[in-house]
Structures are given as C-alpha cells and as structure tokens.
C-alpha cells in the first residue's frame, strides 16, 4: 500500500510537473521562434552590412583615385604657377631693361636733336646763301653773255670791214710786192677766230645747260631740305610719344619747339627714293594705348632705323650742298675765262 501510495504520489507529481512544464515548453518554443527570427534578422543585417561595406570600399577606392587625380592637378597647377611667376619676373626684368634703354636712347636723342637743330639752322643759312649766290651768278652770267654778244658783233663788224677793204689793197703795187701773203694769212686767221668763237659759243651753251642743271639741283636740294625738316619733326614727335608711353617724361620742349616753330612748306608724301620711310604719327590718345615690352622694343628699333636714315640723308644733303656751291664757283670762273679769251682774241685782232 505504501508503494501504491508512493506510485500514486509519483504519478500525481508527474502530472503536476507536466502541467507545470507546459508553459515552460511553450515559452521555450516561443524563445526558439524568436531565436530563429533573430538569426534571420541577423543574417539579413549581415548581408546588408556586407553590401554596405562593399559599396563603401568601392566609394573609398573611387575617392582615393579622385584624390590622386586632384593631387596631380594640384601639382601641375603649382608648376604652372611657378612658371608663370618666373615668366612674370623675366618680363618685368625685360621691361625694366627696355625702360632703361629707352631712357638712355631718350637722352641720346635729346643731345642729337639739339645738335641737329643747330645743323638745321646752319643748313638753312647755307641754303639762303646759295640762293643769293645763285642770283649773283645768274646776273654775272647775263652780264657775261651780253658782253659776249657785243664782242661777237664787234668781231663780225671788223670781219666785214676787213673783207670790204681787202679788194682796194690790190690797186697798190708797192704793197702787193711787199705784203703778198697777207690776204691768205688774214683769211686763215679769220677762219681760226671764227672757229674759236664757235667753240666758245658751244662751250657757253654747254655751261648754260650745266647752270640750268645746277639750278634744278639746288631747287631739289631746297625741297629735300624741307622734307628732311618735316621728317625730323616726325621723328621728334615719335620719340616724344614713346617717352610718354614709357611714363618717363618727354623730350625737351625747347629743343622740340625750335624745330616745329619753322613750319615746312607743303610737299608731297613721296620724295625720290625716300617715300614711306617715316611712319605717320598715330592719333590715338596716349592713355588708351597698351604698350608692353615688345612694343617698346619694336618702337625703339624702328626709331633707331628711321633716325639713322634721317641722319644719313641729312649728311648727304650737306655734302651735295657744298658740291653745288663749288660747282657754281667753277661755272663763274669758266665764264670769266671764256670771256677773257674772247677779249684776248679781240685784242689780237686789233
């Protein structure tokens, strides 16, 4: 009976345990389902994190490549900046050198301009003197020509008189016996004199042509003088404009006005072989013109070439001026010598 009781008690306890374990089993089942849900969510989360990590790695790699590219561009930009700075320094040095050379050239041009103004004064005086000498030479030539014509008329009259008297001498037997060869000798002498007169007349005609040529050369020289003065004014204005553009002042106004105060005569834009050597002055305002070192260099180079050409033309003009003066003196002496020869011939005929 005790065993039965124990068995009954055990059975009752088993039933109680079973009843008690049912909620626990239900709870265990619920926890297992939650565990499965958590595992599923964790797997999904893991997959999502792996995808995110992969995308992040790709974005990081792309960002790294962009960073490298930006670094390269930054290095290239820095190199360009350094090169630009070096170019800027070089251009600044060149510009300073050009400005210094322009200042030196400006001082040289001032000195040369003052000297050329003095030379232009002396050249004007020489040209005026040449004009007066030409007038005197023309008057002397006219006087000598009138004297030559009078001598020719006198020689012709004497020749006619000698020809009219030669037949009467044949009626004098005493003189024929003593002076028989005289008519032939007189005829030969007369022919020689006429030949000399013709030669002198031809020489005078040639000298007249030479004097006309000298007069034309002198007129051309005066025209060239005016042209050179106009060219000198253009060069002065050009140098003044370059000085203004450099911001270093301008030429001496007293020296410049000394040339400009004499307004040259109006002449053509072309003279001989020198047309187009000197540029027309630009009319754009100075403050609107942009000038860099190349413009300065080009302007100075053209200024040097034009000014050297002007000086060469000026020197040649002075030399030609002196040559014309000497030629006029030679012509005067030639006329005097020819008239003197006619006078001697006239005296010998007497």
- Mean pLDDT computed over 254-263: 40
Tokens of 203: 């020489």
Tokens of 5: 């009781």
Q: Which of 169, 159, 161, 152 is nearest to 191 (CA)?
A: 159
Cα(236)–Cα(259) distance, rounded to whole angstroms?
Answer: 9
Distant-in-sequence, close-in-space partners of 186: CB < 8 Å, separation ≥ 6: 162, 166
Q: Is the predicted pLDDT of residue 42 greater than 80, yes or no?
A: yes
What's the mean per-residue pLDDT of the chain?
68
Task: Report the 10 Å Cβ neighbour count for 218.
Answer: 21
Predicted pLDDT of residue 47: 92
Q: 84 vs 229, which has greater pLDDT? A: 84
Q: Is the predicted pLDDT of residue 336 greater than 80, yes or no?
A: no
R_g over Cα of the chain: 60
Q: 40 vs 267, which has greater pLDDT? A: 40
Q: Picking from 193-202, 289-298, 313-322, which range would have the lowest pLDDT averaged per residue?
A: 289-298
Cα(339)–Cα(331) distance, rounded to whole angstroms?
Answer: 12
Domain annotation for the chain: domains and CATH numbers: 110-166+183-349 (1.20.1270)
- Mean pLDDT computed over 109-132: 78
Q: Which of 139, 140, 158, 142 is nearest to 197 (CA)?
A: 158
Cα(109)–Cα(304) distance, rounded to whole angstroms?
Answer: 10
Predicted pLDDT of residue 310: 65
């Amino acid at each position: 009976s005790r065993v039965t009781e124990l068995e009954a008690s055990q059975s009752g306890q088993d039933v109680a345990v079973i009843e008690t374990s049912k909620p626990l089993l239900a709870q265990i089942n619920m926890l297992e389902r939650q565990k499965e849900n958590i595992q599923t969510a964790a797997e999904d989360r893991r997959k999502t994190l792996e995808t995110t990590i992969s995308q992040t790695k790709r974005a990081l790699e792309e960002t790294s490549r962009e960073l490298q590219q930006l670094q390269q561009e930054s290095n290239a930009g820095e190199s360009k900046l350094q090169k630009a700075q070096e170019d800027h320094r070089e251009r600044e040095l060149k510009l300073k050198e050009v400005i210094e050379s322009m200042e030196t050239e400006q001082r040289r041009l001032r000195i040369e301009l003052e000297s050329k103004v003095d030379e232009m004064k002396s050249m004007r005086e020489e040209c005026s003197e040449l004009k007066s000498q030409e007038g005197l030479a023309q008057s002397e030539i006219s006087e000598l020509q009138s004297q030559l014509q009078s001598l020719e008329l006198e020689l012709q009259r004497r020749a006619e008189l000698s020809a009219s008297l030669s037949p009467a001498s044949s009626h004098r037997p005493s003189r024929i016996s003593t002076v028989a060869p005289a008519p032939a000798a007189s005829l030969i002498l007369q022919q020689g004199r006429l030949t000399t007169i013709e030669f002198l007349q031809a020489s005078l005609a040639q000298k007249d042509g030479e004097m006309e040529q000298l007069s034309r050369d002198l007129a051309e020289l005066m025209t060239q003088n005016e042209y050179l003065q106009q060219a000198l004014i253009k060069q002065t204005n050009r140098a003044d404009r370059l000085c203004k553009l450099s911001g270093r002042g301008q030429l001496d106004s007293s020296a410049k006005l000394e040339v400009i105060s004499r307004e040259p005569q109006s002449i053509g834009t072309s003279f001989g072989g020198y047309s187009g050597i000197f540029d027309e002055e630009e009319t754009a305002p100075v403050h609107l013109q942009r000038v860099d070192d190349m413009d300065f260099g080009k302007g100075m180079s053209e200024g040097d070439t034009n000014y050297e050409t002007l000086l060469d033309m000026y020197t040649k003009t002075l030399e030609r001026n002196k040559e014309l003066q000497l030629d006029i003196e030679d012509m005067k002496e030639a006329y005097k010598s020819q008239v003197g020869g006619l006078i001697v011939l006239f005296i010998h005929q007497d």
